[in-house]
Amino acid sequence: MDDRPIEWSRGAWVVSTRRDRLDLDAVLALLRETRWGHTLSSERLRRAVAHSVCFGVYEGSATIGLARVVTDLATYGYLTDVVVTASRRGRGIGGWLTECILAHPELQGFRHLTLLTRDAEPLYAKAGFVRGAGPLVYMERTAHPAGS
């Protein structure tokens, strides 16, 4: 992914899109605590990070959050893997992280910026996200275990 690194600061927190700042072991540990990332391998995470606009959240040198936007940097983006470490939740970090993502200059003017959420709809509604309109059907193609 050929995007330009950007950083935002708020008090002791920093959001950065610098991939070389990400502690992939810490990110993997964060994602493995989620229902969607618990089986993620370090190799798949490395590939995902290389091909996404990544937003690391830091407190000092500690990685305390992450979000990724999978995008063509022109027409569409998919916000995914948004996570803040459990000990820092409830402090507004997720909302601020979303604000930073929406302010990123290379993520402007898309036809759609989408996400899926099971339990954070109010957080994203505050940032202007709305439920999808029209007769759209969510579809997916999943990987099947070997031998099936």
> Rg of the chain's alpha carbons, rounded to an integer?
15
Would you say residue 131 lies in a domain? Answer: no
Would you say residue 1 lies in a domain? Answer: no
Please state, as a whole number, how many other Cβ atoms lie within 10 Å of the Cβ of residue 13. Answer: 19
Provide the whole-model pTM: 0.87
The domain tally of the chain equals 1
Would you say residue 117 lies in a domain? Answer: yes
Would you say residue 89 lies in a domain? Answer: yes
In sign, the C-alpha dihedral spanning 116, 119, 124, 130 is: positive
pLDDT of residue 3: 78
Residue 145 pLDDT exceeds 60 = no
At 25, give phi and psi (nearest 5°): -65, -40
Total residues belonging to the chain: 148
Would you say residue 30 lies in a domain? Answer: yes
CATH number of the domain encompassing residue 70: 3.40.630.30
Residue 7 pLDDT exceeds 90 = yes
Range of the structural domain that residue 56 is part of:
7-126
Confidence of residue 141 (pLDDT cuts 50, 70, 90): confident
Confidence of residue 45 (pLDDT cuts 50, 70, 90): very high
Would you say residue 84 lies in a domain? Answer: yes
How many alpha carbons fall within 13 Å on the CB side of residue 136? 7
pLDDT of residue 107: 94
Residue 137 pLDDT exceeds 80 = no
Please state, as a whole number, how many other Cβ atoms lie within 10 Å of the Cβ of residue 16. Answer: 19
Residue 38 pLDDT exceeds 90 = no
